[in-house]
Structure 1
Amino acid sequence: MKNAAIANEFVQFVPYNGKPATEKTEVRVLYDDDAIYIGAMLYDNNPDSIFTTLTKRDAGFEVDADMFMVGISTFNDGINSSMFLVTAAGVQSDIKGTTGMDDPNWDAVWESAVNITNKGWVIEIKLPYSALRFSKDDEQTWGINFLRAIMRKQEWSSWNHVNNEISGFTNQSGVITGIRGIKPPLRLSFTPYFSTFAQHDSENNSWTKGIRGGMDLKYGINESFTLDMMLIPDFSQVQTDDIILNLTAFEIQYEERRPFFTEGIELFSKGDIFYSKRIGSFPKEFWDVEDQLSENEELIENPAEAQIINATKITGRTKKGLGIGFFNAMTLQTVAKIRNTVTNEEREYITQPFTNYNIIVFDQNLKNNSSVSLINTNLIIPDNNYTSNVTAGEFLFKNEKQNYQFNGTAGLSQIFEEQAAVDLGYKYQLNFAKTGGNVRFGIAQDLVDDKFNPNDMGFLLFNNFVASEAEISYHMLQPHWKLLEWQIRFDSEYQMQYSTKNYMQWKIGMDMHATFKSQWSWGFFFDMVPLGEDDYYEARKVGQVFKQAPSAYAGTFFGSDRRKKLSFRAFVLYWKTSSAYNENTFRGRISPTLRVNDKLRFTLEIAPAIQNNNIGYVDELTDTIIFGKRDRKTIENTIITDFTFNDKMSVSLRARHYWSSAAYKQFYTLNTDGTLTENDHYDENQDINFNAFNIDMVYTWRFAPGSDLLIVWKNTVYDEGIVVLNDYFKNLNHTFSASQTNLFSIKVLYYLDYLYLKKKK
C-alpha cells in the first residue's frame, strides 16, 4: 500500500460544510485480479476518545461509533452506488444507494479489519469483485468517495466535498481511474438454510413442531444483471408487526422486514405501485370466513398468511444506464377449516387460491442525474379468472447545478373479473421544486380518480381526490450563534373530490427544526384546517359525506445529545376541533436510551394517546349509518435490549405492550347532508378493549462470511373484548392471563460461493 496514491485533505460535510476536516485522514486504493483493497489511516489527536460502541451488523449510520465508509459508483452515473461502512469497533454495514432511496438491507460478502493505535485507527477493506457489478471495459472509470465520522465531535467529512447546497451524495463523488484488465467474475452463490421450530398454543395446549429447509440463490447473468431466487422461505426471525386497533376507514400499512423483500428493491419502488407485504400476507377472503359459518359450525383453522412457494428477482443496469427489473412470486392455495360441532365433520373454505405476482420495470438514467421509468405490476388468480394490472410511468429531470427538479408519475389500473366490465382507473402527480440553497420551495398536484386501485400489489389509502400543494422553506447551511443547523417550512394543501369537484379540505401548516452546538435538538409544528373538512371516507359509503368542524393541532419535540450514555427523544401534540362535541386529542412519546457500555444498550419507548369525544363510524343498518362519540385511550410501551458480544455476535430482546380502548357515550344518525342527529334507539354495545403483547428475542452469530446462526423466541398475545378496563396495569395483567402463542426456532444459513469452492479444489 505504501506506493499507492494517497487520498487526503478531507472536507467537512457537517457541521462546517466546506471547511477542512479537523483530523487528518489518508486513504490508499490497490487492486488485483480478485478484489479492490482499501487501506485508511484515520489520525486522531485523542485516540482514547474514539467511540467504539458495538452494534449488530448492518446498523448503518445510526450508530454511536466512529466510522469510515467508501461509496463506489461502478457505472459513474451519479445515481447508483454501493456503500461499505466499518465502525471503529469493526462492525460492517453495506448499503445500496440510489436517488431518493438507500437500501440498508442489501447484503454483500466482503472483509474488513480495524486496529486502534496511539495515532488514531487503521482500517483495511477487501472488496471482492463479486460484491460489485461493473462493465467488461478494459479500463474502468468509477465514481468514488470516502466518508469519515468522528462521533465525539459529530463531525462528518469526505474526500470529495459534498456541498449541502446540492441535494445528493453519490452525484458529488470523485473519480477513480487507471483500474485496468479486471474482469467481472462469475457471480454464483447459494445460501441454503435449515430450521427447526416448536410452537405452543396455550388456548388448546397444543404443540406444533416441524423442520424446514430452503435456499437463496444468486447468479450473475452477466456483468450487469443478477438473478436472485428464494425457494421455500422461512421468515421466523423477522420482527413481529406492531398491530394496533384500527377504527379508521383506512388500512394500516405495516413495515416490510422480510429480507428478500427489502434487499435490492429500489427499482421496484418506481411509480409507487408495489407494496411487497401483499405477497404472503392476509388471504383475500381471510375476514369473510366467519360469514360462511352455518348453524352448529365453528372455525378451527384460518391461516393468516399465504405460503410463498418461491420468489425470483432479476435486476441490473446496462452500461448505457438502462435499469431493468423483473420480479415473480407464487403463493399456494390457502384454506380455512370449519368443523360441525354436532357431526364433527370438517370442511374447507378457500380464502385465497393459487396466486401469481409479476413486476417488470425499466429505468433509464439521463444526464444531470435525471431519469425516466416505466413499471407494470400484474396479479393473476387463475381459479377465479381474476387479473389486476397496474402500469405507471415516472420521470425526474434535474438541472446541471442540481438545485431545481421537475418530477412526476402517471398510473393506470385495470381489474379484470369474470363476466364483469374492466374496472379502469388512473392517477398522476406533478411536482416542481427548488431543492438547493437557503431558500427552497415546491409546488405539486396529485390526482387520483375514483376507480384507480393498485391495492392487489400496491398500497393506496384512498382514491377519488385532487390535491394541490405548495411549500417554502429556509435552511441555514452554516453554523451560526449557538445553532449547528436550522430550518423552517410553511406549507398549504387544498383537496377536492375528483368525481364531484366538491371541497374536501384546506390545510395550512408550518414546522421548524433546530440542532444546537450542544447536540440537543428542538422543534415545533402547527397545522390547521380553517374551513373544516368534508370527509367522504369515514361513512364507508360512496358519495356520503361527513362534515367536520374546523380544527388545528400543534406540537413540539426534543432530543438530547446522543453521545451521552443517557439520551432521549420526546414529542407532544395537542389537537382540537371547534365542533360542539368538544373533540380533542393529546398524544405524546418519550424514548430514553441508556448505553451502559460499548456492548449493552437499553431503550424504552412510552407513547400515550387520549382522544376525548372522538366522533367516528360505528355501524350501518338497512338505511341508516350510525356514528358514535367515544373516549379513546391508548398506551404503547416498548422495551428494547441490545447486547453485542463482538462484531459478529449479538442478541436483541424487544417486548411491546399495546393497549387501546374505545368507550361509547352517545350514538348518532349520519344525515345525508353530512351532519349528525342523536340516535337514542341504537343500543348495541360497541365498546372495545384491545391488548397486544409481543416478545421478539433473536440471537445472531455470523460464524462465517454471509453465514448466520439464529435462535429465535417469539411470544404473541392478542386479546379483544367489549368490557373496557380503564386501568393500564389491569390490562397488562389481563394480557398475561390471555391465550398466547410461543414460537421457538433455530435457523442456520450457510453461504457458498462458487469461485471460492472452485479455488479450494
Structure 2
Amino acid sequence: MKKCYYFYFLLFFVFGFGQKKSLQTKFTSEMITLDGKLEEDIWQSVPIATDFIMFQPDNGKAVAKNKRTEVRVLYDNEAIYIGALLYDNEPNKILKEINKRDNFGAADFFGVFINGYNDGQQNFQFFVNAADGQADCLETDTNGEDYSWDAVWDSKAVITDFGWAVEMRIPYAALRFSSEKAQTWGVNFFREIRRDREKYSWNFIDSKIGTFTQQNGTLEGIENIKTPARLFLLPYASFYTYANADQKTNSELKRGLDIKYGINDAFTLDAMLIPDFGQTKYDDRILNLSPFEQQFNENRAFFTEGTDLFSKGNLFYSRRIGGPPSYSPELKSNEEIIENPNSVELYNATKISGRTKGGLGIGYLNAVTKKTYATIKNTDTQETTAVLVEPLTNYNIIVFDQRFHKNSSVSFINTNVTRNGSFRDGNVSALVWDLNTTKNTYNLAGNFEYSYVNDIKNKKGGINTTLDFSETTGKYRYSVGANMVTKDFDSNDLGINFETNYYNFYGNSSYRILNPTKFFNSFNTNINAFTQFQKETGKVQGNQINLNVNSTTKKNHYVGFGLQYRSLENYNYYEPRANGRYSIDPKRFGGWLTISSNYNNKFAFDINPYFAILNESGRKSIGIDFSPRYRFDDHFALNYAFNFFKQNNNKGFTDSINEDNNSVTPNIIIYANRNVVTYINTLNGKYSLNSKMNFDISARYYWSYTENKNFLKLGDNGRLIPYNDYTENQNQNLITWNLDVSYNWWFAPGSQLTLLYRSNAAKYDNLINKDFANNYISLLNNKDLNHVISISIKYFIDYNQVKNVF
C-alpha cells in the first residue's frame, strides 16, 4: 500500500507540476455586475482553476483546503472577466490595509498574469487587494516588474464569511494579443496570504528556474472576438498659485491633452500634447562631490509607462528630454546671468509600441523641445541680452526586438538627438542579445554599442560592448563576464554614461535555499569580484571582492550583511577632471548590516549601519540608516527615516590652476583633505479614506557639508603632497527642504482629481553653521522659500462610450 501511495504522489508531482495547466473560458452575452458576488448564472457554467501550489516560502507545497482559491474566466467582445473566491478559515484575520494605487501595503492580494502571445516573455499583471485597491505592472524577466505602467480596468473585492472574493473586468485595450480567430493566452493566477507571508500560484512556478513569465499555464476558448476601436482621450486642466517669502504671488492655468490610439490589436500610439509636469515629485538633490552628474529618477508618467522596449541596452535616460539646458552662456568680466531656466520646455512627445504575431516588438519615441534662452545683464550699461542655451531639439528612439523560442531575444536600438543650428548632435546604435537554453539552464547576454557625436568642430565615435555568461537555475548559480568601453564612447545626449576608456572582468557565485529550513524561510549568499583596467595604460582603476548574505527568518524578519574588500590601489582617472591625470585611491575594507522587521506588525523598523576603513591615516567613513514605521489602523500610517553619513579625511578634487596660458590642461590640480557630513530626515505618511481617496504627506530635510582641513597638490605620479599656497574658502554647505501634501481622488476609471500644496527651499554657500536647529529655521525663513498650491483634473474618455451616447 505504501508503494502505491508513493507511486500516485510521484504521478501527481510529475503531471501536476511538470506540465502546464490549461483553463477553458466561455463567451458571455450576459452583463456582468462587478460586485464581488459572482451571482450571474454564467459564472457557474465555466471550469474552475484551483489546486494552487505554494511559490514562497515552501516552493512546491500544495495549498491547504481551508486556504484554497477558485478562479473562473469569462469574456465578451470588449473585455475579459475574472471571478475569484479566496477561502480563508479565519476571515477576521485577513490583512486589508487601505493604500493608494500600486501599493499593496499590509494586505492580502489576488492577481492575474496575462500573456496574449503566449510567448513566455512578457506578462501584463493585474492585482486586487483585500481592501479593494488596484495595482498593475508589466513584467519581463530582463527588467522585472514595472509598476509605472498603468492601465484602465475595473475591479471589486469584498470580505465574506468564507474569506474574500474578487471580480475583475480587464478591457482588451489594456492587453496585447494577436488577431487570430482562436486565441491561446498564457495565464497564471497568484495569491498572497499576507499574515503568513505565503504566496501561491495556479500554475506551478518552480523557484529553481529563474523566470516567471515562462511558467504560465494557458487560457483557451477565446474565439472570434470583435474588439472595439481603441481610442482614448485624457484631457486635463491644472491651476497653480505660486508665492514666495516676499509675498509675491502669481497664478497660472494650464491645459493639455493626452491621446492613446490602438493602431491595431497589437500596436498603440501614445501622444502628449501641451504637457504639464507641474505636479511631478521634486528631485532629491544632494551635495554632489563626484566628477559625474547626479542621476535623477523619472517621475513623469509618459516617460515611465510602458517603456520596457525603450530600456533595451540602457541607452535611454528620459530626464535628458526637458532637462537642464545643454549649454552655459560665456560671460565677459562685466556681465552676469540674471535668469537661466532650470529646464527646457517640451512641445510634445509621441510613442508607438507593440509586437507582431511573429514576436517582433517595435518601439518608436519622438519628442521636441523648445528654444530656451538665458538672460545676461551688462553691469556697466544695465542692458539685458537673451542668449540661446538650448536650440530647438528633436529626440528620437527606435527599437526592434525579436523574440524567439519563448525565452530569447535579439534587439536593435537607435537613439538620435538633433539640435537645430550649429550645436552638437548625437547618435547611438546598439545590438543587444539575451539568449537562453531551452530549459532555461544557461544564459548568454551582451551588447555591442556604437556612438557618433557631431560637435561641429569635433566628430568622434566610440564603442561599448559587454558579454555575460551565467547559469540561471538550481541552488548554486554563477556568472562571468567582461565589458569594454573606448575613450570616445558617448551616449549622453539621450542616455547617461559616466566612465569610459576601460575594460573589466567580473564574476559571481551564489547559493540559495529553495525551501524553508528550521531557522529560515529564505536564505541566499553570493560572492562577487571584479577588476577594471584603464584601457590605454592597463593600470587598475577599479577592483573589489564582496560577500553578501540575505535571509528571512521564520517570523518573516529580514537579516542581511555584507563585506567588501579592495585589495589593490586604484588609479582614478576621473576625479582629477583633467585628461591623462589620475589620483591613487587606497586599499579599502568595509561592511554593512541590515535588519528589517516584519511589516505585518503595526510597529516595524529598518536599521542599516555601515562602515569603511581606508589604508590611509585617519581616513574612514561610518553611516547609519534608521527608519521606524507605525500603522495606526488600516487607514493611517507614518514612516520616518533618518540617514547619517560621515567621511573623515576624505580626499577629493577642489580646484585647478592653469599657470601656463598656452596649455589647455591645468598644470596644478588642488585636492582637499576634508570631512564630509550628511544628515537626511524624511517623513512619509498617508491617510486613506478608501482605495480611491488618499491623503499623502512627504517631507525631506537634507543637510550636507564639506569642511576642508588642508589642501594638497596632485603629483604626476598620482600621489598627493601638501600645498600651502592655496587659501581660498572651498567649504561647501547645502541645505534643502521639500514638503508635499496632497489629496488624490480616483473618481472614475482612469480619471483623477489632485489637490497639492508644496513648499521648497534650497541654500548653498561656503559658510558652515553646525547648529542643526538654526540651519533649519534659517532655511524656512529664506527668501527663496517657495509655496505652490495647485489643483489638477484629468478625465479619461473612451471613444466607444462617447460614440454610444451620440
Q: Same fold (TM over 0.5)?
A: yes
Contact 2:540 2:569 in 1 (8 A): no
* Cα distance in 1 for residues equivalent to 2:800 and 2:149: 21
CA drift at 1:430: 0.6
| Match in the other structure for 1:142 | 185
Amino acid at match of 1:758: K
Distance 1:293 1:215, change over 3 A: farther
CA drift at 1:208: 3.0
- Secondary structure at the counterpart of residue 45 of structure 2: coil
Matches within 5 A, 1:56-205: 56-59=100-103, 62-101=104-143, 102-202=145-245, 205=247
Matches within 5 A, 1:592-671: 592-622=628-658, 623-671=667-715
CA drift at 1:139: 0.6
* Cα distance in 1 for residues equivalent to 2:420 and 2:371: 11
CA drift at 1:341: 5.0
CA drift at 1:205: 4.2
Distance 1:541 1:343, change over 3 A: closer
Picking from 782, 785, 798, the partner of 1:753 is: 798
| Match in the other structure for 1:331 | 369
CA drift at 1:500: 2.2
* Cα distance in 1 for residues equivalent to 2:714 and 2:455: 33
| Match in the other structure for 1:731 | 775
| Match in the other structure for 2:727 | 683
CA deviations over 1:422-460 (Å, ceiling 9, x no partner)? 210001011001111100100010111111010110011
Query: Residue 487 in 1 paired to residue 524 in 2?
Result: yes
Matches within 5 A, 1:60-459: 62-101=104-143, 102-202=145-245, 205-285=247-327, 288-289=328-329, 291-292=330-331, 294-295=333-334, 297-341=335-379, 343-420=381-458, 422-459=459-496
- Secondary structure at the counterpart of residue 7 of structure 1: coil
| Match in the other structure for 2:625 | 589
CA drift at 1:728: 2.1
Contact 1:236 1:712 in 2 (8 A): no
Contact 1:136 1:183 in 2 (8 A): no
Contact 1:52 1:66 in 2 (8 A): yes
| Match in the other structure for 2:611 | 574
Amino acid at match of 2:513: M
* Cα distance in 2 for residues equivalent to 1:250 and 1:341: 33
* Cα distance in 2 for residues equivalent to 1:419 and 1:669: 33
Distance 1:498 1:316, change over 3 A: same
CA drift at 1:199: 1.4
CA deviations over 1:192-228 (Å, ceiling 9, x no partner)? 11111111233x5432321111111000011111000
- Secondary structure at the counterpart of residue 2 of structure 1: helix
| RMSD, aligned CA | 1.2
Query: Residue 698 in 1 paired to residue 735 in 2?
Result: no
* Cα distance in 1 for residues equivalent to 2:49 and 2:605: 38
| Match in the other structure for 2:762 | 718
Query: Residue 525 in 1 paired to residue 562 in 2?
Result: yes
* Cα distance in 1 for residues equivalent to 2:257 and 2:250: 23
* Cα distance in 1 for residues equivalent to 2:543 and 2:763: 39
CA drift at 1:357: 0.2
- Secondary structure at the counterpart of residue 348 of structure 1: strand
Contact 2:141 2:212 in 1 (8 A): no
Contact 2:77 2:227 in 1 (8 A): no
* Cα distance in 2 for residues equivalent to 1:19 and 1:476: 15
CA drift at 1:600: 0.8
* Cα distance in 1 for residues equivalent to 2:141 and 2:309: 10
The share of aligned pairs that are identical, in percent, is: 38
CA drift at 1:706: 0.6
* Cα distance in 1 for residues equivalent to 2:122 and 2:567: 44
- Secondary structure at the counterpart of residue 195 of structure 2: coil
Contact 1:553 1:576 in 2 (8 A): yes
CA deviations over 1:509-567 (Å, ceiling 9, x no partner)? 11101100111111111111111211111101111110122111111111101100011
| Match in the other structure for 1:707 | 751
What residue ranges of structure 1 are gaps of 5+ in the alignment? none
Query: Residue 50 in 1 paired to residue 94 in 2?
Result: yes
Contact 1:237 1:698 in 2 (8 A): no
* Cα distance in 2 for residues equivalent to 1:657 and 1:170: 41
| Match in the other structure for 2:34 | none
* Cα distance in 2 for residues equivalent to 1:100 and 1:692: 36
Distance 1:351 1:385, change over 3 A: closer
- Secondary structure at the counterpart of residue 801 of structure 2: helix
What residue ranges of structure 2 are gaps of 5+ in the alignment? 1-42, 659-666
Amino acid at match of 1:94: D
- Secondary structure at the counterpart of residue 758 of structure 1: helix
Query: Residue 744 in 1 paired to residue 780 in 2?
Result: no
Amino acid at match of 2:398: I
* Cα distance in 1 for residues equivalent to 2:229 and 2:151: 15
CA drift at 1:742: 1.3
- Secondary structure at the counterpart of residue 384 of structure 1: coil
* Cα distance in 2 for residues equivalent to 1:611 and 1:727: 19
* Cα distance in 2 for residues equivalent to 1:539 and 1:465: 17
Amino acid at match of 2:113: G
CA drift at 1:342: 5.4
Picking from 512, 515, 520, the partner of 2:552 is: 515
CA deviations over 1:16-40 (Å, ceiling 9, x no partner)? 1000123110000111222211111
Distance 1:121 1:293, change over 3 A: farther
Contact 2:243 2:788 in 1 (8 A): yes
Contact 2:465 2:484 in 1 (8 A): yes
Number of equivalenced pairs: 752
Contact 2:99 2:133 in 1 (8 A): yes
CA deviations over 1:170-196 (Å, ceiling 9, x no partner)? 210000111111133211000011111
* Cα distance in 2 for residues equivalent to 1:368 and 1:32: 28
CA drift at 1:368: 4.2
* Cα distance in 2 for residues equivalent to 1:334 and 1:11: 58
Amino acid at match of 1:313: K
* Cα distance in 1 for residues equivalent to 2:342 and 2:113: 41
Amino acid at match of 2:697: L
* Cα distance in 2 for residues equivalent to 1:111 and 1:736: 44
* Cα distance in 2 for residues equivalent to 1:485 and 1:449: 41
| Match in the other structure for 2:33 | none
CA drift at 1:486: 0.5
* Cα distance in 2 for residues equivalent to 1:116 and 1:471: 46
Contact 1:68 1:146 in 2 (8 A): yes
CA drift at 1:573: 0.8
| Match in the other structure for 2:30 | none
Amino acid at match of 1:234: D
Picking from 62, 80, 87, the partner of 1:36 is: 80
* Cα distance in 1 for residues equivalent to 2:402 and 2:199: 32
- Secondary structure at the counterpart of residue 233 of structure 1: coil
The alignment's TM-score, normalised by the length of structure 2, stands at 0.92
| Match in the other structure for 2:510 | 473
* Cα distance in 1 for residues equivalent to 2:237 and 2:390: 28
